[in-house]
Structure 1
C-alpha cells in the first residue's frame, strides 16, 4: 500500500506541476482571468493532496486500513474536485459542456474532507507508550 500511495502521490504532483505550467503559459491567452484563477485552484488542491499522500505513504503512525481508505478518498476526490474544476475553467474551449457534470465538484470536495477526517481520527486514537509511537 505504501508504494501505491507514493507512486500515486508522485504522479498527482507531476501532473499538477504540468497543469500549472500549462495554465500559466498555454491557457493565459485563451480563457478569462477568472477562469484561470479557477484552474489554478484545481492545481493547488491537487498538489496539496499529492503532498498529503506522500506523507501518508511515508508514515508509520497511520494504520494500513486508514491508509487504504485515505488513498481512495483522496484519489477519487482529486479526480472529481480538481478534474471538474479543470473542465469548468476551460469549458469555453471544448464542445462538451462541463456544467452538466458540475455536481461532482462538491462530491470531490466532500471526499477530500472525509480523508482528512479519517486521518484526524487515526491520530486521536493513536497511543504513545514509552515515548515510542505504536
Structure 2
C-alpha cells in the first residue's frame, strides 16, 4: 500500500521532470515526431502515476482495503510505466523504431491494471 503511494509519487515527479526536460532541453533536438512520442510517454507516465497513488490510498483506507487485485494492479502499473513510457523515451531519443515493439507490452500491462481495479471494486461490492 505505502509502496504504491511512494512509487506513484516518484513516477509523478519523474513525469514532471521529464516533461520539462523534453520541453526545454530537447527543444530543437527532437523533431515534431520525436517530441510527440516524448509527450505521449510523459502523459501516460503521469496518468499511471496518479493511478498508483489511488491504488495506494484505496489499499490504505477502508474503502477496498488490502485486496489482492489492487496489489497486482500496482505492480503491473509500475511495470507498464517502465515498458510503455520507458520504450517511448528511448525511441524518441534514439530513433530506433524496433523499440516501438516493446511499447504494446506496457499498454497490455496498463490494461491489466485497470481490469484488476475493476475486479477489486466488484469483489468489494459483493
Counterpart check, 1:11 vs 2:13: no
Paired residue secondary structure (1:29): coil
- For residues 52-71 of structure 1, what are the structure 2 equivalents within 5 Å? 52-59=51-58, 60=61, 61-71=64-74
Q: Hey, which of these two has a bigger chunk of helix by percent?
A: 2
Report the Cα offset of residue 99 of structure 1: 3.0
Paired residue secondary structure (1:102): helix
Could you report, residue by residue, the CA deviation over 1:38-64 in whole angstroms, capped at 9, with x for unpaired residues? Answer: 100000000000001111101131543
- Partner residue, 1:82: 85
- Partner residue, 1:24: 23
Task: Normalising by structure 1, report the TM-score.
Answer: 0.85
Report the Cα offset of residue 102 of structure 1: 2.7
Q: What is the aligned length?
A: 122
- For residues 45-124 of structure 1, what are the structure 2 equivalents within 5 Å? 45-59=44-58, 60=61, 61-92=64-95, 98-124=96-122
Could you report, residue by residue, the CA deviation over 1:94-128 in whole angstroms, capped at 9, with x for unpaired residues? Answer: xxxx4343321001100000000111111122227
C-alpha RMSD of matched pairs (Å): 1.5
Which of the two has higher C-alpha Rg? 1
Write out the 4+ residue segments of structure 1 that deviate beyond 4 Å after TM superposition.
none
Paired residue secondary structure (2:107): helix
